[in-house]
Structure 1
Amino acid sequence: MKQFKTLVIALVLFVGTQISAQTKIAHIDVQALMTNMPEMKAAQSQLDKIKENYDKEYKTMVQEYQTKLQKYEQEAPTAGEAVNEARSKEMQDMGQRIQQYQQSAGKELQQKELDLLKPILEKAQNAIQKVATAKGFQYVLDATNGSGVLVANGTDLLADVKKELGF
């Protein structure tokens, strides 16, 4: 019985090795691919402009807040109690608007980034799929640093996919 178990285990290992020997696996650094795509450079430029506009508006709001705060602090001793309370409430409201703007700008920028990157990623994935199919690979692993691939000594598809994309 013990020999039968050993024989079954050996047979399973042999069959598993034969199957994996027939499986073709390649790798590609998707991050490097996308970084080099012309569409990515255009998208990054567009995102930088949007971010610059948000930053400019934010700085203007903060500058206005600081100017009013200084003015109100200087006038506080001579202004009446009711005026100081109204100004305090105004400053709190203004501070909340600045925070809300900062949060909404961050969300809008993040959404715009997703909207711009989605078609680029899809184009890259389609090109990877096409090249992998043409070369007969069943699996393509992402070799980007930190993606989980520890050893990437197999076939690298980056050059072929770049060629497919025309750059």
Structure 2
Amino acid sequence: MKKLSVLFAAVMMVVSVGMAKAQKIATLDVIGVLNVMPEKKKADTDLKAFLDTKQAEIKKKADAAQAKFQQYQSEAAKKTAEENTAREAEMKKLSDEIQQMNDKAQKDFVAKQDAAYEPIEKKLNDAVSKVAKANGYDYIMDANSSAFVFKGGPDATAAVKKELGVQ
């Protein structure tokens, strides 16, 4: 029984020493850092241009389909039932093509976005890791997170920006 008490006391001492070690926590304005990175600005510009191009292509096709639809509606009374049925099938096909273009554009955009942002995220994460190690931070948390109730620790944003070479 005495050995058990000594063992329990030793375990409690080890646990309390481990808990007594204060952890250094810093915050980081991730969005603020990303918004000043030239790579992010270029990626955003490229992605916007890509999206604008895709939207213009889809709009052109949709406008052509809308004009054809209006033409078919105005001529419907003068056409036979078979011609109107064929025109309806053609309009359905055009509608499906536009929907497929939309779906493909979204998939292409997401893939392009992932490819563009991956090296930026890696660069940011590497800088954060360097700053954390250099300053002895155990944790660096996003300052924009709504999970924070209190932010009183050091802010690592300036150090990460310096590491990245951005202002």
Q: Partner of 1:35 in structure 2?
A: 35
Matches within 5 A, 1:6-155: 14-15=16-17, 17-19=19-21, 21=22, 23-146=23-146, 148-155=147-154
SS in 1 for 2:160: helix
Cα displacement (A) at 1:15: 3.8
Q: Partner of 2:160 in structure 1?
A: 161
Aligned equivalents of 2:119, 2:150: Cα separation in 1: 29
Aligned equivalents of 2:115, 2:29: Cα separation in 1: 22
Say if 1:12 and 1:151 are closer, same or farther in 2 by CA, change over 3 A: farther
- Percent sequence identity is 35
Cα displacement (A) at 1:55: 1.0
Amino acid at match of 1:155: P
1:44-71 Cα shifts (integer Å, max 9, x gaps)? 0001100100110111011011100011
Cα displacement (A) at 1:79: 1.1
Aligned equivalents of 1:11, 1:132: Cα separation in 2: 29
Cα displacement (A) at 1:43: 0.4
Name structure 1 gaps, 5 residues minimum.
none
Retained in 2: the 8 A contact 1:141–1:149? no
Amino acid at match of 1:124: L
Amino acid at match of 2:156: L
Amino acid at match of 2:159: D
SS in 1 for 2:56: helix
Amino acid at match of 2:42: A
Retained in 2: the 8 A contact 1:25–1:154? yes
TM-score, structure 2 normalization: 0.86
Name structure 2 gaps, 5 residues minimum.
none
Retained in 2: the 8 A contact 1:32–1:144? no
Aligned equivalents of 1:40, 1:15: Cα separation in 2: 44
Cα displacement (A) at 1:12: 8.5
Retained in 2: the 8 A contact 1:25–1:140? yes
SS in 1 for 2:78: coil
Aligned equivalents of 1:119, 1:143: Cα separation in 2: 22
SS in 2 for 1:140: strand
